[in-house]
């Protein structure tokens, strides 16, 4: 059977038993069973606690995975960039929230055009500045219905978001005055809390944020403002936040994959990490000349290099340690008794899944030892 060239050099292996182990590498692997299980688990958590689920696309950037999340019960998706939102709306994904302010004339034009394409109440964007509100309203005047917006709150991180309750009230007034924008609620995403490794410290920090958010929401509601949506919550704080009654919806992203960082963070639960590793990078041993290590074909162009190192998942027995060895190469230090041979395939758990995914054009979807499909990463590189 012929395959589309967009599927890459491994397309001929789709459906071939054992094809997982003969891929051209570096290759981004996605375990379909683990992915499906993770999506179902988070959907069940949201349903059990009566909280909405709007998972973040920034982790996977994939239309196919977004569709799976919607089919499992998600009310929409969250997008960190306008480009991600465009990819989702173009594919018919409903309930898209752009979680970062959209600024500059051309991007505002794109945003309004996207809102028109998505339809009423299917695209929402956060705002944190009256100047941005005024510009957005001018562009939104072409829409048949007002554009939905959410006030972004700094959540203690101060990356974006209004700085306090007074600023939120001022912004809400500016939104109301436009006549072209409809205030729907508040966003408070504590990104800086998600990777606090000590469970008690992470939960305490999340509780402090919830207290701050609850106060903000009470203040806005007391002013007669319609706050129907309180959105935030990531993979690292989902357990405590889902049941607390402050947020109306969650935005976790990395739970679909898990990575080295999140395994460290979530391993402190009663039964270990609640989600399975579904994402791997497969590499090949390309040199065995050094006595203390082997050289792999996966370096800084294959793994995110902003955090910890990748960890071996398959292909090596015994202790091992990965180190970056250049753009195209990695060093795997192993003992002589477990030294992989030239041409051997070694799979790794990704150090940080989001930026690792952004290095690849496609997922190689596997079921056991078989490559069952190849999915494009449609939102990769879209600003």
Locus of tokens 């990965």: 322
With a CB cutoff of 8 Å and minimum separation 6, the contacts of 113 are: none
State the chain's mean pLDDT as an integer. Answer: 95
pLDDT confidence bin for 272, thresholds 50/70/90 = low
Domain that holds residue 90: 34-256
Quick check: bond before 6 cis, omega within 30?
no
> What is the tally of structural domains in the chain?
2
Q: Are residues 235 and 345 in the same domain?
A: no
Neighbouring C-alpha atoms within 13 Å toward the C-beta of 192: 10
Q: Are residues 120 and 165 in the same domain?
A: yes
Whether residue 369 is predicted with pLDDT greater than 70 in this model: the reply is: yes
The tokens describing 10, both together, are 């491994």
Average pLDDT over residues 23-51: 98
Whether residue 299 is predicted with pLDDT greater than 80 in this model: the reply is: yes
pLDDT confidence bin for 2, thresholds 50/70/90 = very low
Average pLDDT over residues 251-273: 85
pLDDT confidence bin for 1, thresholds 50/70/90 = very low
**Confidence (pLDDT) at 382:** 84
**Tens of pLDDT, residues 91-121:** 999 999 999 999 999 999 999 999 999 999 9
**Tens of pLDDT, residues 132-186:** 999 999 999 999 999 999 999 999 999 999 999 999 999 999 999 999 999 999 9
Domain-located, residue 296: yes
Whether residue 271 is predicted with pLDDT greater than 90 in this model: the reply is: no
Average pLDDT over residues 196-209: 94
Q: Are residues 219 and 344 in the same domain?
A: no
Which phi-psi region, left, alpha or beta, contains residue 365 (left: φ > 0; alpha: ψ -120 to 50)? beta
**Confidence (pLDDT) at 381:** 87
Q: Are residues 159 and 106 in the same domain?
A: yes
**Tens of pLDDT, residues 337-353:** 899 999 999 999 999 99
Whether residue 194 is predicted with pLDDT greater than 70 in this model: the reply is: yes
Q: Are residues 327 and 292 in the same domain?
A: yes
The tokens describing 22, both together, are 């003969």
Whose CA is closest to 12, among 23, 21, 26, 25? 23
Domain boundary among 203, 226, 256: 256
**Confidence (pLDDT) at 142:** 97
**Confidence (pLDDT) at 232:** 98
Q: Are residues 278 and 350 in the same domain?
A: yes
Q: Are residues 230 and 316 in the same domain?
A: no
Q: Are residues 333 and 222 in the same domain?
A: no
Domain-located, residue 381: no
Question: Which CATH number do you get for residue 331?
Answer: 2.40.37.20
Whether residue 302 is predicted with pLDDT greater than 90 in this model: the reply is: yes
Domain-located, residue 262: no
Average pLDDT over residues 274-301: 97
> Could you tell me where the DSSP H helices lie in the chain?
32-49, 63-71, 82-90, 105-118, 130-140, 165-178, 199-222, 238-242, 260-266, 353-357
Question: Which CATH number do you get for residue 179?
Answer: 3.20.20.10
pLDDT confidence bin for 269, thresholds 50/70/90 = low
C-alpha span between 193 and 188 (Å, rounded):
12
C-alpha span between 162 and 176 (Å, rounded):
17
Alpha-carbon Rg for the chain in angstroms: 22
Whether residue 36 is predicted with pLDDT greater than 60 in this model: the reply is: yes
pLDDT confidence bin for 267, thresholds 50/70/90 = confident
Q: Are residues 11 and 95 in the same domain?
A: no
C-alpha span between 351 and 359 (Å, rounded):
13
Q: Are residues 111 and 52 in the same domain?
A: yes
Specify the higher pLDDT residue, 59 or 199. Answer: 59
Q: Are residues 222 and 330 in the same domain?
A: no
Highest mean pLDDT: which of 192-201, 258-267, 362-371? 362-371
Domain-located, residue 266: no
Average pLDDT over residues 296-304: 98
**Confidence (pLDDT) at 268:** 67
Q: Is the pTM of this model over 0.85?
A: yes
Q: Are residues 108 and 250 in the same domain?
A: yes
Whether residue 6 is predicted with pLDDT greater than 90 in this model: the reply is: no
């Amino acid at each position: 059977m012929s395959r589309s060239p967009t599927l890459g050099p491994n397309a001929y292996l789709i459906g071939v038993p054992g094809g997982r182990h003969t891929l051209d590498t570096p290759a981004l692997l996605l375990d379909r069973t683990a992915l499906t299980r993770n999506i179902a688990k988070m959907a069940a958590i949201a349903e059990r606690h009566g909280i909405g689920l709007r998972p973040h696309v920034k982790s996977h950037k994939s239309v196919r995975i977004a569709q799976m999340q919607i089919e499992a019960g998600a009310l929409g998706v969250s997008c960190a960039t306008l480009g991600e939102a465009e990819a989702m709306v173009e594919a018919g994904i409903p309930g898209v929230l752009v979680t970062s302010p959209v600024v500059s004339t051309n991007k505002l034009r794109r945003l309004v055009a996207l809102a028109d394409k998505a339809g009423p109440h299917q695209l929402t964007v956060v705002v944190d500045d009256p100047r941005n509100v005024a510009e957005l309203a001018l562009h939104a005047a072409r829409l048949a219905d007002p554009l939905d917006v959410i006030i972004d709150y700094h959540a203690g991180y101060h990356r974006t978001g209004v700085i306090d309750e007074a600023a939120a009230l001022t912004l809400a007034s500016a939104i109301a005055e436009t006549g072209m924008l409809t205030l729907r609620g508040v966003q408070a995403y504590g990104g800086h809390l998600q990777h606090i490794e000590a469970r008690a410290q992470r939960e305490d920090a999340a509780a402090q944020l919830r207290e701050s958010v609850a106060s903000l929401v009470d203040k806005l509601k007391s002013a007669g403002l319609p706050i129907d949506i309180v959105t935030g919550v990531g993979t690292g704080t989902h357990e405590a936040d889902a049941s607390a009654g402050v947020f109306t919806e969650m935005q976790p992203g990395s739970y679909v994959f898990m990575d080295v960082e999140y395994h460290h963070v979530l391993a402190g639960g009663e039964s270990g990490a609640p989600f399975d590793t579904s994402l791997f990078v497969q590499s090949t041993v390309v040199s065995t000349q050094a006595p203390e290590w082997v050289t792999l074909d996966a370096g800084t162009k294959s793994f995110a290099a902003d955090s910890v190192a990748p960890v071996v998942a398959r292909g090596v027995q015994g202790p091992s340690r990965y180190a970056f060895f250049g753009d195209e190469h990695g060093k795997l230090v192993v003992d002589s008794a477990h030294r992989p041979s030239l041409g051997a395939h070694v799979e790794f758990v990704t150090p940080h899944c989001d930026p690792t995914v952004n290095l690849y054009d496609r997922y190689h979807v596997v079921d056991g030892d078989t490559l069952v499909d190849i999915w494009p990463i449609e939102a990769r590189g879209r600003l």
